[in-house]
Amino acid sequence: MREKWTFTPSKTCSIPNIASWEISNQKDQTYLLQVSWPLGWASEKPSTSANFLYLVDGNAVFFSATDTVRRRQARNLHEPGTIVVGIGYPLHDSVYSPRRAFDLTPPTEHYVPPAGPDGQPRAQPHGGADQLLVFITEVVRPFLASTVFPGVRVSRTALFGHSYGGLFVLHTLFTQPMLFDAYLAASPSIWWNDGFILSEEAAFCRTADTDTDTDTSHRPALRLSYGSREQYPVRQRDELPEQFEQRKRGAALRRMTDNCCEMYARLRGSGRLHVEKREYVDEDHGSVIAPALSGGILYFLDLE
C-alpha cells in the first residue's frame, strides 16, 4: 500500500532575505525596487562591507542574479557579501515593461525609429536614460544607505543591463564613468538610433588624450557579452521561411557581433578602462541573458 501524502497550500511563497518596495512620485511614475542580501546575515543591518550589484529590467533578472550570487557565496565565505538591487516595474503579466524603451535609451536630438518584427519602423518613447540614472543615484542609493542597510559599507558596485539595458550601461559608462566600478553590458543595442552611442564612446575616448593620470588601478571595468546567434541566427523549429529571412535581415542590420568586437577593440586601446569581451556560442538574443548575467557577476566579483 502506498504511503499517503497531504498537500497543504502555503499561506505565502517567500524567499529569505529578500524585500521589495513600490516607489512612486507625484507624476504617477512607479518603479519596483527588489533587494536581496546574503543568507548569512541575521538582518539587513549588520556592520560590515558588501558589494552592490544594480540591475535594470529587474523583473527579468533579479531572481536569477540573486541565485547566482548566493551559489557563489556558499563556496567563497571569505569574500564580502553581495547585495543585489533590481530596478523594475510593478508588473503582473510580463517581465518587460514598454516603459523600458524610454527609461533605457539616451537623450538625443535626432531619432530614427527602430524596425519592428515586420521590418517596418516603429517609433517609441525614448531618451529617458539620464532620468532613470538620477532615480538610481539620488533616490534608490540614499534609501538603501539610510534606511535598508545603514550599517553596511559599500565595497564595490556594478551595473548590469541587457539589450536596451546594455545600451543604458554603456551610456552610463561613457557619461559618468566613475559612478560604478564595473559595467556589465550584455547584447547592448549599439545599433540604436543609427549608432548614437558611438558618439558618446568617441567623446569618452577623447578625454584619454588629456588624462595625465597613469594609475589604472581605480579605473572602471567593462564587460561586453553577446550570443553568436544574434548576428548569425539559426532557423527555429516552428519558424516559417519568410519569418526566418526577415529575422536574418534584422540581425544583419543590428550587427551584434561586429558592433561588440569593434567597440572592444577601440576601448581596449583607449587606456581609460579595463575591458573584456565574451561571445557565448549557440546563444541568441534571449537565451544569452542567463550566461551573460552569471558570467558578468563572476567577472565583477573577481575583479582585481
In a domain, 172, yes or no: yes
In a domain, 118, yes or no: no
Range with the lowest mean pLDDT among 11-25, 166-180, 231-245? Answer: 11-25
In a domain, 212, yes or no: no
CA 89 to each of CA 20, 56, 99, 253: distance values in angstroms, whole numbers, following the listed order: 11, 10, 9, 30
In a domain, 26, yes or no: yes
Residue 215: its pLDDT value, please?
Answer: 56
Question: Is residue 41 within 8 Å of 19, Cβ to Cβ?
Answer: no
CA 231 to each of CA 108, 226, 251, 283: distance values in angstroms, whole numbers, following the listed order: 26, 9, 5, 11
* Per-residue pLDDT at 13 exceeds 80: no
Q: What is the CATH number of the domain that holds 48?
A: 3.40.50.1820
* Per-residue pLDDT at 230 exceeds 60: yes
Q: Which residues of 107-118 are buried (b: 16+ CB within 10 A; e: fewer)?
A: ebeeeeebbeee
Given pLDDT bands bounded at 50, 70 and 90, which one contains residue 117? confident
Would you put residue 30 in left (φ > 0), alpha (ψ -120 to 50) or beta? beta
Grid cell listed for 95 = 517581465
Per DSSP, the residues of 165-204 read HHHHHHHHHHH-TTS-SEEEEES--TTHHHHTHHHHHHHH
Question: d(Cα 86, Cα 20) in Å, to the nearest integer?
Answer: 9
In terms of pLDDT, which residue wins out, 47 or 188?
188
In a domain, 81, yes or no: yes
Range with the lowest mean pLDDT among 139-143, 177-181, 217-221? Answer: 217-221
The DSSP H or E segment spanning 289 is: helix 289-301
* Per-residue pLDDT at 299 exceeds 70: yes
In a domain, 8, yes or no: no
Question: d(Cα 288, Cα 231) in Å, to the nearest integer?
Answer: 13
* Per-residue pLDDT at 213 exceeds 70: no
Domain count within the chain:
1
Strand partners, 157: 52
* Per-residue pLDDT at 131 exceeds 90: yes
Residue 147: its pLDDT value, please?
Answer: 93
Domain membership of residue 235 as a residue range: 19-107+124-205+218-301
Non-local (6+) Cβ contacts of 72 within 8 A are 82, 297, 298, 301
Question: d(Cα 235, Cα 27) in Å, to the nearest integer?
Answer: 44
Question: d(Cα 175, Cα 133) in Å, to the nearest integer?
Answer: 11
Given pLDDT bands bounded at 50, 70 and 90, which one contains residue 46? confident
In a domain, 4, yes or no: no
In a domain, 115, yes or no: no
* Per-residue pLDDT at 211 exceeds 90: no
Tell me what the mean pLDDT of segment 88-113 comes to: 95
Range with the lowest mean pLDDT among 109-123, 139-153, 157-171, 183-197? Answer: 109-123
Percent of the chain with pLDDT over 70: 94
**Sign of dihedral through CA atoms 238, 240, 241, 244?**
negative
Residue 252: its pLDDT value, please?
Answer: 96
The model carries a pTM of 0.93
Grid cell listed for 250 = 534584422
* Per-residue pLDDT at 93 exceeds 60: yes
